[in-house]
Structure 1
Amino acid sequence: MPHVTLYALEEELAGRELSLVGELTNAVVSVYGEWARGSVDVRLIGIPAGRWARGGAVVDTAAPSVTFGMREEVFAREDAAGVVARLVAAFTDAVAAAFGDGCRDEVLVELVGQPTTRSGLGGKVISNGAGG
């Protein structure tokens, strides 16, 4: 199940939730195909004013950041560089569509590979096959 988490300052996030859910889901679908739509899990995390800092100082504005969790095996595939590039571009486009193009150059996208053997679902460790 693909997991997308977007972090943004709360006051900038408010009112953009529905648009972001659609844009971020569509970003995953644009890379993986329509079959992935039903399993995309989106989390929108609003950071209250005074709780986002850079360089040791609290900031008033910050471009949103996106973390995308996926199986680490994707990074070992022959087409990994292309998949990574498409995901980074698609998530950046999604954020810019919701927040405006002015933030595009500052959007951070992190792709995090997770071994299925170190994840769990429904109280069971996920293996490369079915549960286990």
Structure 2
Amino acid sequence: MPHLILYAHEPDLATKEAALIAALTDAIVEVYGEWARADAVVQLVGLAPGRWGIGGAPAKNPAPRVTFGIRDGVFARPDGPEILAALARNVTDAIASVLGEKHRAGTTIEFVGAPDGRTAVAGALVSP
């Protein structure tokens, strides 16, 4: 189950939430296939101005930061680098298309792998 958390300045997100959720979900589906649409989780976290710091000072207009949770096994696949590159490209494109090109260059995506047996849904461990 792909799980994406996007952190951005609240003013950048305001009124764009639905469009951004749809675009990010489409970005995931483009790489994984249509089966992933129902399982893709997108969370948007808006931070008030002054609550995001870079270099020891409040950031004026930071680009979004994404934490992308995926199955750990993708990192060991022979095509893993291509999958990660496609996800990074598609997610960045989705963000830029909704929030504006000004954010493209600074958008950061961190891929976090969950090993098998370390994710639970409805109180039960998810098996591969």
TM-score by length of 1: 0.92
Report the equivalent of 2:24: 24
Report the equivalent of 1:77: 77
Distance in 1 between the 2:67 and 2:31 partners?
Answer: 16
52-61 or 111-120: which moved more?
Answer: 111-120
**Unmatched 5+ stretches in structure 2:** none
Distance in 1 between the 2:51 and 2:98 partners?
Answer: 22
Report the equivalent of 2:56: 56
Deviation of residue 65 (structure 1)?
A: 1.3
Q: 1:116 aligned to 2:86?
A: no
How many aligned residue pairs are there? 128
2:62 is paired with a residue whose SS is coil
Distance in 2 between the 1:57 and 1:80 partners?
Answer: 36
Report the equivalent of 2:106: 106
36-45 or 115-124: which moved more?
Answer: 115-124
Deviation of residue 124 (structure 1)?
A: 2.0
Report the equivalent of 1:34: 34
Distance in 1 between the 2:66 and 2:98 partners?
Answer: 13
Deviation of residue 90 (structure 1)?
A: 0.5
Deviation of residue 23 (structure 1)?
A: 0.6
Distance in 2 between the 1:56 and 1:123 partners?
Answer: 40
Deviation of residue 117 (structure 1)?
A: 1.5
Q: Segments of 4+ in structure 1 off by > 4 A?
A: none
2:60 is paired with a residue whose SS is coil
* Higher share in helix: 1
TM-score by length of 2: 0.95
1:45-102 Cα shifts (integer Å, max 9, x gaps): 0011211000110112111111111100011111001101101100100100011112
1:9-65 Cα shifts (integer Å, max 9, x gaps): 111111110110111000001101111111111100001121100011011211111
Distance in 1 between the 2:49 and 2:5 partners?
Answer: 19
1:118 is paired with a residue whose SS is coil
**Unmatched 5+ stretches in structure 1:** none
1:11 is paired with a residue whose SS is helix
Distance in 2 between the 1:72 and 1:63 partners?
Answer: 26
The RMSD of aligned alpha carbons is: 1.0
Distance in 2 between the 1:61 and 1:6 partners?
Answer: 15
